[in-house]
C-alpha cells in the first residue's frame, strides 16, 4: 500500500491470507485493503475474523466499529466501540490524539 498500488496490495495480502489465515496482522491488513478498495462485505468478514483470532484486542473492535459507522450502521458501530472500551477504557481516547 506504500506504493499506492491497491490492486497489488490486495493481490499480495490475499496470498499472505491464504498462507496465514489465523495471523491477526495479516487478516487486519487484508481487511483494511478491502476497505480502501470498497469491498465492505469482505472487510466486515475479515474484521470479524480478526476478532475471532484475538478476541481481547480492543483495536480489533475499533476497526470493526469504524467500518460499521462508515456504512451507516450506527448501532453495530456503537456496540463495537463499547466492546473496545470494555477491554481498554482509553482506546477511543488514543484514537483522537
pLDDT tens for 7-62 read: 999 999 999 999 999 999 999 999 999 999 999 999 999 999 999 999 999 999 99
Taking the model in full, what pTM does it have?
A: 0.89
- Which of 53, 59, 48 lies closest to 21 in space, CA to CA? 53
Q: Which residues span the domain enclosing 10? A: 6-95
How far is it, in rounded angstroms, from Cα 34 to Cα 73?
Answer: 18
Asked whether residue 66 is assigned to any structural domain, the reply reads yes
* pLDDT of 95: 52
Asked whether residue 1 is assigned to any structural domain, the reply reads no
Which three three-digit cell numbers place residue 4?
499506492
54-72: pLDDT as tens digits: 999 999 999 999 999 999 9
Name the domain count of the chain: 1
* Residues with Cβ within 8 Å of residue 72, at least 6 apart in sequence: none
Residue pair 63/31 in contact by the 8 Å Cβ criterion: yes
Amino acid at each position: 500500500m506504500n506504493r499506492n498500488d491497491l490492486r497489488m496490495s490486495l493481490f499480495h495480502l490475499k496470498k499472505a491470507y491464504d498462507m496465514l489465515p489465523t495471523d491477526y496482522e495479516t487478516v487486519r491488513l487484508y481487511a483494511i485493503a478491502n476497505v480502501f478498495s470498497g469491498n465492505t462485505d469482505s472487510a466486515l468478514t475479515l474484521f470479524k475474523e480478526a476478532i475471532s483470532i484475538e478476541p481481547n484486542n480492543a483495536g480489533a473492535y475499533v476497526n470493526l466499529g469504524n467500518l460499521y459507522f462508515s456504512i451507516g450502521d450506527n448501532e453495530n458501530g456503537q456496540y463495537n466501540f463499547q466492546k473496545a472500551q470494555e477491554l481498554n477504557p482509553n482506546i477511543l481516547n488514543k484514537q483522537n490524539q
